[in-house]
């Protein structure tokens, strides 16, 4: 089995697709791994530590980098060790109800409504363990490194030689042969192999039966006796499985999600907020990704990924414009439509309607190709909205970048 030098690029999913992410305490519950308590008040935190003893108190937000995060009130660290019940209660009072900002959260951070109190375990090393889809080999894979406790991107940069990927067949699962291969490549002892095997088996059951896309255990604590403990777990599941995984999707915490993304979802739009200043309205996920790439190629940065889908209507398109134009960061908008099921004249009518209702004050570049594109372009010309119409894909991307930079 080959070693991966850049797993974050080749193996771990990084596309702009909405997936179900669940909290650490929910992931741990699936694994049935740790002695722990979910608390929502300082009094509950005190009682949990009174029962568990020396513990970690962890803010429950769906963002990575919690340990290095900062709260509104100046408290540093969303993961902290406490020694006694009083210390736990005092810390909980300073965490609960506060916004935690991490390097992966939106600028405003997320309000912490729940804390996860877990007992501490002695360990001498932190490993990384994940199960995901290896898209290059069209197979599920186990990824493991003896340098855990940090993001896989950081591990790949600092210790690329430590990361190993092991493909396996979904129909076969965690076989003795796979375990033997992992043990051999990592030089595991009999005790380490015996402890790791049930963790892998539990992850496989979740991954295969719950439509998982990425199960991360980081850190996976290694103790001197060769045993492993899952100190932190972050699990993600395929959105397309929502209809058959109703119990899993009932765990979704919408309070942790971006309000604009939730609104877009209600209107049948796939919207992902990004960090740039160019808004996009595109139909089709492939075209949306290509549009994002084209804007980046010309030196721009996207404020969003928005796929209106092949069944977009005039109403949903106007909702899309409303979401984008409310974003104060947006300096220019690119409408890039390839008409198949979506008619370009309907898109033109949506643009005209949105311009009248929303008072759009940023420049807009429009590219319409396909079904009824001539009719759509004629409607836009007659409306005289001051739009920048481009027929060439590359030129449209270049033009919107120029307009954003000059705004």
Q: Where in 223-326 does DSSP place strands (E)? A: 228-230, 233-237, 270-273, 278-282, 304-307
262 backbone dihedrals φ, ψ, rounded to 5°:
-65, -40
Q: Round to whole Å and give the CA distance between 231 and 378.
A: 61
Q: Which residues pair with 134 in a beta bridge?
A: 139
Write out the two tokens for 364.
Answer: 């807009």
For residues 369 and 391, is the Cβ–Cβ distance under 8 A?
A: yes
For residues 303 and 329, is the Cβ–Cβ distance under 8 A?
A: yes
Side by side, which strands form the sheet with 70-71?
A: 70-71, 99-101, 110-111
For residues 201 and 174, is the Cβ–Cβ distance under 8 A?
A: yes
Write out the two tokens for 181.
Answer: 């291969």
Q: Round to whole Å and give the CA distance between 308 and 350.
A: 12
Write out the two tokens for 88.
Answer: 């736990």
Residue 349, classed as helix, strand or coil, is helix
For residues 354 and 318, is the Cβ–Cβ distance under 8 A?
A: yes
Would strands 278-282 and 332-339 be described as parallel, antiparallel, or unpaired? parallel
Q: Which of 25, 116, 128, 271 is catalytic?
A: 128
**Known active-site residue 216:** yes
Q: Round to whole Å and give the CA distance between 278 and 290.
A: 14
* H/E run at residue 51: helix 42-52
For residues 180 and 170, is the Cβ–Cβ distance under 8 A?
A: no
**Known active-site residue 128:** yes
For residues 78 and 95, is the Cβ–Cβ distance under 8 A?
A: yes
Q: Which of 216, 271, 338, 390 is catalytic?
A: 216
Of 323, 331, 336, give the one whose Cα is nearest residue 366.
336
Q: Round to whole Å and give the CA distance between 172 and 70.
A: 44
230 backbone dihedrals φ, ψ, rounded to 5°:
-85, 100
Question: Would you please indicate which residues are annotated as catalytic (active-site) residues?
Answer: 128, 216
């Amino acid at each position: 089995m080959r070693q991966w030098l850049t797993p974050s690029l080749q193996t771990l999913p990084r596309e702009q697709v909405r997936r179900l992410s669940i909290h650490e305490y929910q992931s741990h519950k699936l694994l049935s791994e740790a002695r722990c308590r979910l608390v929502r008040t300082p009094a509950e935190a005190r009682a949990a530590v009174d029962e568990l003893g020396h513990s970690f108190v962890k803010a429950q937000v769906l963002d990575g980098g919690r340990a290095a995060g900062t709260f509104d009130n100046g408290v540093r660290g969303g993961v902290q060790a406490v020694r006694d019940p009083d210390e736990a209660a005092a810390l909980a009072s300073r965490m609960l109800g506060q916004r935690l900002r991490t390097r992966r959260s939106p600028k405003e951070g997320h309000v912490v409504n729940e804390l996860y109190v877990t007992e501490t375990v002695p360990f001498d090393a932190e490993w990384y363990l994940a199960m995901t889809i290896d898209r290059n080999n069209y197979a599920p894979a186990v990824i493991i490194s003896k340098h855990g406790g940090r993001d896989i991107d950081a591990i790949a940069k600092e210790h690329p030689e430590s990361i190993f990927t092991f493909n396996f067949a979904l129909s076969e699962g965690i076989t003795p042969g796979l375990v033997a291969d992992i043990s051999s490549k990592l030089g595991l002892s009999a005790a380490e192999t015996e402890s790791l095997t049930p963790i892998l088996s539990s992850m496989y059951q979740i991954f295969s039966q719950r439509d998982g896309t990425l199960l991360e255990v980081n850190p996976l604590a290694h103790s001197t006796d060769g045993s492993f403990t899952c100190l932190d777990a972050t699990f993600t599941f395929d959105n397309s499985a929502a209809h058959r995984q109703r119990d899993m999707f009932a765990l979704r915490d919408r309070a942790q999600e971006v309000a604009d993304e939730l609104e877009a979802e209600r209107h049948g739009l796939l919207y992902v907020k990004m960090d740039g200043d160019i808004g996009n309205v595109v139909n089709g996920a492939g075209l949306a990704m290509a549009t994002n790439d084209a804007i980046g190629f010309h030196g721009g940065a996207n404020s969003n990924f928005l796929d209106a889908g092949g069944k977009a209507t005039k109403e949903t398109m106007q909702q899309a414009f409303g979401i984008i134009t409310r974003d104060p960061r947006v300096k220019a908008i690119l409408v890039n439509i390839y008409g198949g099921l979506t008619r370009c004249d309907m898109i033109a009518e949506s643009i005209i309607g949105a311009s009248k209702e929303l008072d759009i004050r940023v420049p807009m570049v429009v590219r319409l190709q396909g079904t009824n594109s001539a009719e759509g372009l004629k409607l836009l010309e007659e409306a005289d909205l001051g739009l920048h119409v481009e027929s060439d894909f590359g030129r449209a991307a270049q033009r919107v970048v120029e307009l954003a930079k000059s705004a």
